[in-house]
């Protein structure tokens, strides 16, 4: 199967620290490369992580606080320096268009890359990709912010032994996949008879926000959820005041939504031991938990073998 993985480029909120860069996340998903929230220093973090600029096909910005966008000038200019030939689509809240325009034209450079601004104006579809749909939802921060999710549609996995048992091979397989039923010497074979349900995979990205319905909607059924956990529960009042989540709140979302792998990030530098985020989250979420470190690679978990609408074993 093609590689689907998250490469963590930075994990600090507000300002970088000695050990944590400003935010930044690169999602490799088959042929797509989605760069989320490139904070200051993202270009160099990509270099350290071995991600070339040509791997970027889309840039998604949640909002225009500096820790989520100050890396844009460097990344945009690098795309031109490297003469990246394919278009790079940029998604961000439309209300922040003035900031996007400034950042992409922050200084003099020879622009050859095809960067296409595609501002999001509300909840819903952002892009219909070959690998799934990219969707946005408005979060609840102190400025307008959007979370994103990538949803691969469910499909069916052909079962070779069932196909063989029915004597189906060659172009007939494709015909059965397209038409759902095949006449095999007067006997009708249905697609369900020779294939198993293959659940689509989901990735969700939730940055700066208070708890709100959109957070749960984005995280629902995610195989991999990247979510901010700026504060610990002891500072829940501060989290609410500044429009953020606590580790406990983020983990509660993951538990409620059946998230398979949870990545906590965007940490406040007021805490010196990152294990505290993990301990707090683990008290409510029993799944696979990652307290993100810079340059960490987090694979999207292997496809779930949930059975749905079929009794065919796998
Ligand atoms: Zn932030």
CA of 227 to the centre of ligand 1 (A): 11
What is the model's pLDDT at position 314?
32
DSSP state of 16: -
- Give me 107's structure tokens: 């200084």
* Catalytic, out of 37, 67, 193, 208: 67
CA of 65 to the centre of ligand 1 (A): 6
Indicate if 114 belongs to the active site: no
Residues 227 and 263 sit within 8 Å (Cβ to Cβ): yes
Residues 115 and 85 sit within 8 Å (Cβ to Cβ): no
Q: Are strands 32-36 and 58-60 parallel, antiparallel or unpaired?
A: parallel
What is the model's pLDDT at position 2?
58
CA of 52 to the centre of ligand 1 (A): 25
The mean pLDDT value for 29-44 works out to 97
Residue 211 zone, left/alpha/beta (φ > 0; ψ -120 to 50; rest) = beta
pTM score of the predicted model: 0.91
The mean pLDDT value for 194-200 works out to 93
Residues 245 and 252 sit within 8 Å (Cβ to Cβ): no
| pLDDT per position as a tens digit, 72-90 | 999 999 999 999 999 999 9
H or E segment to which residue 89 belongs: strand 88-91
pLDDT band at 303 (very low <50, low <70, confident <90, very high): confident
CA of 205 to the centre of ligand 1 (A): 13
152-166, 211-225, 233-247, 298-312: which range is least confident on average? 298-312
Closest CA to 150 of 128, 135, 160: 135
Q: Residue 312 pLDDT more than 60?
A: no
What is the model's pLDDT at position 305?
62
Cα 277 from Cα 292, distance rounded (Å) = 10
Across the chain, mean pLDDT equals 94
The mean pLDDT value for 224-244 works out to 97
Residues 302 and 314 sit within 8 Å (Cβ to Cβ): no
What is the model's pLDDT at position 164?
94
What is the model's pLDDT at position 311?
35
Q: Residue 307 pLDDT more than 70?
A: no
What is the model's pLDDT at position 79?
98
């Amino acid at each position: 199967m093609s590689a689907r993985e998250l490469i963590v480029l930075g994990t600090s909120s507000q300002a970088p620290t000695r050990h944590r860069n400003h935010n930044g996340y690169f999602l490799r998903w088959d042929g797509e490369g989605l760069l989320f929230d490139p904070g200051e220093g993202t270009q160099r973090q990509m270099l350290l992580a071995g991600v070339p600029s040509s791997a970027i096909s889309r840039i998604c910005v949640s909002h225009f606080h500096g820790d989520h966008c100050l890396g844009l000038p460097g990344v945009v200019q690098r795309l031109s320096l490297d003469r990246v030939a394919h278009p790079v689509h940029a998604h961000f809240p439309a209300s922040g268009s003035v900031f996007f325009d400034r950042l992409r034209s922050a200084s003099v450079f020879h622009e050859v890359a095809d960067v296409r601004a595609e501002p999001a104006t509300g909840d819903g579809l952002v892009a219909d990709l070959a690998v799934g749909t990219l969707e946005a939802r408005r979060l609840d921060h102190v400025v307008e912010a959007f979370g994103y999710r990538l949803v691969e549609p469910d499909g069916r996995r052909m079962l070779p032994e069932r196909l063989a048992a029915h004597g189906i091979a060659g172009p007939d397989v494709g015909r059965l996949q397209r038409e759902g039923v095949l006449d095999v010497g007067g006997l009708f074979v249905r697609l369900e008879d020779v294939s198993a349900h293959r659940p689509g995979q989901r990735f969700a990205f939730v940055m700066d926000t208070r708890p709100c319905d959109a957070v749960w909607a984005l995280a629902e059924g995610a195989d991999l959820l990247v979510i901010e956990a700026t504060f610990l529960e002891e500072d829940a009042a501060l989290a609410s005041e500044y429009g953020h989540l606590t580790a406990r709140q983020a983990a509660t979302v993951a538990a409620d939504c059946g998230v398979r792998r949870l990545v906590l990030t965007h940490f406040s530098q007021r805490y010196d031991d990152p294990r505290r985020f993990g301990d707090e989250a683990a008290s409510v979420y029993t799944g696979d938990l990652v307290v993100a470190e810079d340059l960490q690679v987090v694979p999207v978990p292997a496809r779930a073998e949930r059975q749905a609408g079929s009794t065919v074993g796998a």
